[in-house]
């Protein structure tokens, strides 16, 4: 065996052998430890991931098919309305109380079931414009004591008062009352009811904010802002403009013809004049304590809706 010696001056000479010792060979021949579990591939886990992805894709596809149901069903109306309310919850919370949101959800579901996306978009446009008008100069209106309660956030009574006539038209549409010949009339009445209410809301809120001269509609006597039955030139013009905008939206969405949109605007202004007269003569008077704003709103929008349907039938002969 070849050896290599250190210099002889070293007291304990050491020898190095290029061939490993038997013990070292025995140690190197031991099996390596197993790999960690996390390093191993898990075919079952991969299969579960694929199954879950396919299930999710199937669920989304099924939801899309439900939303796109034509004609709309109760299932599609409920699901679509739920999705929209979740996405738009910040906007809804700014204009509605908790009870208002709950009632608006029912209104939205009923509207989608009766008129589909076009009716829903019309109501959404009404809500956005009406809420924006209510927020105009809110601090000034609160200081003057003429602002809506809860900083303009509408509750259950307000939502019902704003949508009662529209809901009736929706139910008539769903139950196909009058057959195909009356379906366009129910659409027209639906559009007219929200044109009437939006015109009333905008004229009132803009009149409180910018009206320079406010007078009682029955006597033309100058009265303070916020008086029941009071109108102003600024508010009246703003209300007319708001009704025209919403009627135009209804025309674009196919819920009203061009002539029907004009009818809705005219009917809304007549109804609002009647609402102002009721407010000046009866509201807050002895024996009429039950005639609050919500009840007057129901009367107002009902007049607007009935007038539009009657004008379409009698005057235009459609």
* Confidence band, pLDDT 50/70/90 cuts, at residue 156: confident
Query: Highest mean pLDDT range out of 11-20, 89-98, 187-196, 219-228?
Result: 187-196
Which residue is it, tokens 């135009």? 248
pLDDT surpasses 50 at 4: no
Q: Which residue has the higher pLDDT, 245 or 54?
A: 245
What integer best gives the mean pLDDT of the chain?
82
Dihedral Cα 153, 130, 228, 212, nearest 10 deg = 120
* CA angle (173, 258, 248) in 5-degree steps: 85
For the segment 273-291, the average pLDDT, to the nearest whole number, is: 85
R_g (Cα) of the chain, nearest Å: 37
**Three-state DSSP state, 41:** coil
Q: Who's near 265: CB < 8 A, 6+ residues apart?
A: 195, 240, 243, 244, 247
pLDDT surpasses 60 at 123: yes
* Confidence band, pLDDT 50/70/90 cuts, at residue 283: confident
Q: What is the pLDDT of residues 90-113, one digit of tens each?
A: 888 888 888 888 888 999 999 999
> How far is Cα 165 from Cα 189, in angstroms, rounded to an integer?
8
pLDDT surpasses 80 at 46: no
Residue by residue, DSSP assigns 174-217 as: HTTTT-HHHHHHHHHHHHHHHHHHHHHHHHHHHHHHH-SSEEET
**Three-state DSSP state, 222:** strand
Largest Cα span, the chain: 134
Which residue is it, tokens 């790999």? 35
DSSP state for residue 256 in the 8-state scheme: S
For the segment 19-23, the average pLDDT, to the nearest whole number, is: 53
pLDDT of residue 150: 67
Q: Who's near 82: CB < 8 A, 6+ residues apart?
A: 105
- Range in 11-20, 187-196, 288-297, 305-314 the model is least confident about: 11-20
pLDDT of residue 100: 86
pLDDT surpasses 80 at 26: no
Sign of CA dihedral 304, 305, 309, 310: negative
Let me know: does 59 contact 53? Beta carbons within 8 Å.
Answer: no
> How far is Cα 312 from Cα 310, in angstroms, rounded to an integer?
5
CA-based nearest residue to 191, from 140, 142, 257: 257
Q: Who's near 94: CB < 8 A, 6+ residues apart?
A: 131, 153
């Amino acid at each position: 065996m070849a050896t290599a010696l250190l210099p002889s001056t070293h007291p304990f000479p050491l020898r190095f052998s290029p061939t490993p010792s038997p013990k070292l060979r025995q140690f190197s021949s031991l099996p390596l430890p197993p790999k960690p579990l996390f390093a191993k591939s898990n075919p079952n886990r991969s299969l579960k991931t694929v199954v879950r992805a396919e299930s999710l894709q199937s669920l989304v596809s099924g939801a899309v098919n439900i939303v796109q149901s034509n004609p709309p069903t109760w299932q599609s109306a409920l699901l679509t309305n739920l999705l929209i309310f979740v996405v738009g919850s910040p906007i809804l919370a700014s204009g509605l109380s908790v009870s208002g949101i709950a009632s608006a959800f029912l209104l939205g579901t009923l509207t989608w079931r009766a008129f589909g996306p076009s009716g829903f978009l019309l109501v959404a446009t009404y809500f956005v414009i009406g809420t924006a008008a209510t927020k105009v100069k809110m601090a000034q209106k609160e200081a003057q004591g003429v602002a809506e309660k809860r900083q303009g956030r509408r509750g259950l009574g307000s939502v019902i008062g704003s949508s009662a006539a529209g809901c009736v038209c929706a139910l008539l549409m769903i139950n196909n009352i009058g057959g195909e010949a009356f379906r366009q009339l129910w659409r027209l009445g639906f559009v007219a009811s929200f044109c009437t209410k939006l015109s009333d809301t905008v004229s009132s809120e803009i009149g409180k904010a910018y009206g320079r001269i406010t007078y009682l509609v029955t006597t033309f006597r100058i009265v303070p802002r916020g008086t029941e039955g009071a109108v102003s030139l600024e508010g009246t013009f703003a209300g007319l403009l708001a009704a025209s905008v919403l009627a135009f939206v209804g025309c674009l969405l196919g819920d009203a013809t061009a002539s029907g949109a004009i009818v809705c605007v005219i009917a809304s202004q007549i109804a609002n004049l009647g609402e102002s007269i009721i407010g000046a003569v009866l509201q807050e008077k002895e024996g009429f304590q039950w005639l609050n704003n919500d009840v007057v709103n129901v009367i107002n929008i009902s007049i607007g809706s009935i007038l539009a349907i009657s004008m379409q039938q009698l005057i235009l002969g459609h």
